[in-house]
Amino acid sequence: MKVLMINGSPDVRGCIHTAMQIAAEEFKKQGIEAEELVVGNKDIRGCIGCRRCKTTGKCVFNDLVNETAPKLAQADGVILGTPVFYGTPNGTMLSFVQRLFYSCGLDLHMKVGAAIVSCRRGGNSATFEAMNQFFSISGMPVAPSTYWNDVHGYTAADVYEDKEGCETIQNLAKNMAFMMKAIAVGKEQIGVPEALHTEFTNFIR
């Protein structure tokens, strides 16, 4: 089993990376592979709404988004991690994930999702909620922990001082591992619930 961890921080060894390493250590104990993909320091533009992906199955901008789609397809779980920028996720991260989830055309139903955020002081709750929006609309169960999945600090070293934050990330990884394994068993024994996609209703007609 595999978890794809998408790091939206421009600091490749920063707070989000540190939190993801804590999660990766727990995944390893559970016999699960974890791959960290850093996107926050890449040149990623936003979606332009051209909808070419609906006919080609990939984004019109052939960059890291298209390269990541096969990794997303193979993953059993996904973690989206971002620092707080002005009370919101990093703009690069938002552009990347919006294009990835919209353009890839993958069936993400029953892949386990989770968000991790980091902040110096505030803005973590709004950022956490923004990241979690990607999972529910994609039919992805969201893994819980013992608190919201955020770590506090200005540097990577600060994260380890946030003892409760570190414990929260450990518990998140344990719960994700359990859910992925349980879903795999459920798929074999009872199958996956059928998702209907027959209606597409606008609010204004």
Residue 138 lies in a domain: yes
For the chain, the domain total comes to 1
pLDDT recorded at residue 205: 60
Q: Can you give the pLDDT at residue 69?
A: 97
Q: How far apart are CA 16 and CA 80, in angstroms?
A: 10
Question: What predicted TM-score, i.e. pTM, was given to this entire model?
Answer: 0.95
**Residue ranges making up the domain that contains 14:** 2-189
Residue 169 located in a structural domain: yes
Decide if 205 is inside a domain. Answer: no
User: Does residue 198 lie in a domain region?
Assistant: no
User: 116 lies in a domain?
Assistant: yes
> What CATH number should be reported for the domain holding residue 30?
3.40.50.360
Residues 117, 138, 104, 12, Cα dihedral to 10° = 10
Both tokens of 55, joined, read 């006919």
What DSSP assignment string belongs to the chain? -EEEEEE--S-TTSHHHHHHHHHHHHHHHTT-EEEEEE-TTS--PPP----THHHHSS-SS-SHHHHHHHHHHH-SEEEEEEEEETTEE-HHHHHHHHHHHHHS----TT-EEEEEEEESSS-HHHHHHHHHHHHHTTTPPBPP-SS-SEEE-SSHHHHHH-HHHHHHHHHHHHHHHHHHHHHHHHHHHT-PPPPP------S--
> Given this model, what pLDDT does residue 170 score?
98
Residues of the chain with pLDDT under 50: none
Report the pLDDT value the prediction gives residue 198, as an integer from 0 to 100.
87
Is position 197 within any domain? no
Say if 194 falls within a structural domain.
no
Asked if 149 contacts 116 with a C-beta cutoff of 8 angstroms, the reply is yes
Residue 81 falls inside a structural domain: yes
- CA–CA gap between residue 93 and residue 136 (Å, rounded): 18
